[in-house]
Structure 1
Amino acid sequence: MEKTLKVDVVNAEESLFSGNAEFVALPGIEGELGILPGHTPLITLIRPGLVRIRKSAQDEEEIFVAGGVLEIQPFHVIVLADVAIRSKDLDEAKAKEAMEKAKAAAKTAASEIELAKVEAEIGMLAEQLRILQRIKH
């Protein structure tokens, strides 16, 4: 049995990770998923949070994702994310500024659909800020 998974993490603009890993953890819509080689096939939605890719015992990569789809095959994991940002590239000042703009937009939303989009943006930004606080401490 293989000891690694092929992992691909992409958004609409780029591939953020493509390589092998011993273990992957990420936020599925029903909760946190831990994926090892040989995992049962699954397709699920992604919620905002970190994809943690353990390439080896000493080497781990983290990517913030929000929205999208996760496909798991026994030896291949594909993350098709609406938003994907390497954790080292997350910017607290930009996230706080975007949060203020989104909160202002929520107050002036012209329709329920517009409000739902803004609320989803606020949720994603809140998770980014929570992760940034965890990384800093």
Structure 2
Amino acid sequence: MATFQLDIVTPEKTIYSGDVEQVQAPGADGGFGVLARHQPMLAALAIGQVVFTQADGTNHKLAVSGGFANVSGDGMTVLAETAEMAQEIDIERARVARDRARSRLSDRGQVDMDRAQAALSRATWRLRTCGAE
């Protein structure tokens, strides 16, 4: 299968840079997949999971909390607000964040519901990405 360059970067660091066969990403308007020679596009990313397959067939998962994906003739660049490879996710920290968000959502007092829902979504996707939920 043909490969293309994938770069996944956050404001803090480069998470991944290398050749891949395919990428699946959580677009703001729905999930999408990219193969080599894909039409150029720019897409907003939702909170969710990016899955990519390296040239040797190895699959990798990472949790992202939004950002953008740019597909061009040179490859694909994911500019994520935050991104964590599955094996780097602190499961206990993600569970604490999920439980805290659930508690804030059930309180309904002085809570910013959109912010609490986003926190719950981020924590849930982190747990799903590392296989803990």
Above 0.5 in TM-score? yes
Match for residue 87 of structure 1?
86
C-alpha distance in structure 2 between counterparts of 1:131 and 1:62, whole Å: 6
Aligned residues, how many? 132
TM-score (norm 1): 0.82
C-alpha distance in structure 2 between counterparts of 1:51 and 1:109, whole Å: 34
Match for residue 110 of structure 1?
110
Whether 1:123 aligns to 2:128 is: no
CA contact (8 A) 1:39 1:75 kept: no
Q: Which runs of 4+ in 1 moved over 4 A?
A: none
- Please state how far the C-alpha of 1:116 moved relative to its aligned partner: 1.5
CA contact (8 A) 1:4 1:75 kept: no
Which has the higher mean CA deviation after the structures are superposed, 99-108 or 75-84? 99-108
Q: Between Structure 1 and Structure 2, which shows a larger proportion of helix residues? A: 1
Amino acid at match of 1:131: T
**Gapped regions of structure 2 (runs ≥ 5):** none
C-alpha distance in structure 2 between counterparts of 1:67 and 1:44, whole Å: 11
C-alpha distance in structure 2 between counterparts of 1:40 and 1:58, whole Å: 23
TM-score (norm 2): 0.84
**Gapped regions of structure 1 (runs ≥ 5):** none
Match for residue 20 of structure 2?
21
Match for residue 61 of structure 2?
62
Please give the root-mean-square deviation of Cα atoms over the aligned residues, in Å.
2.3
CA contact (8 A) 1:37 1:75 kept: no
Whether 1:73 aligns to 2:43 is: no
Amino acid at match of 1:110: Q
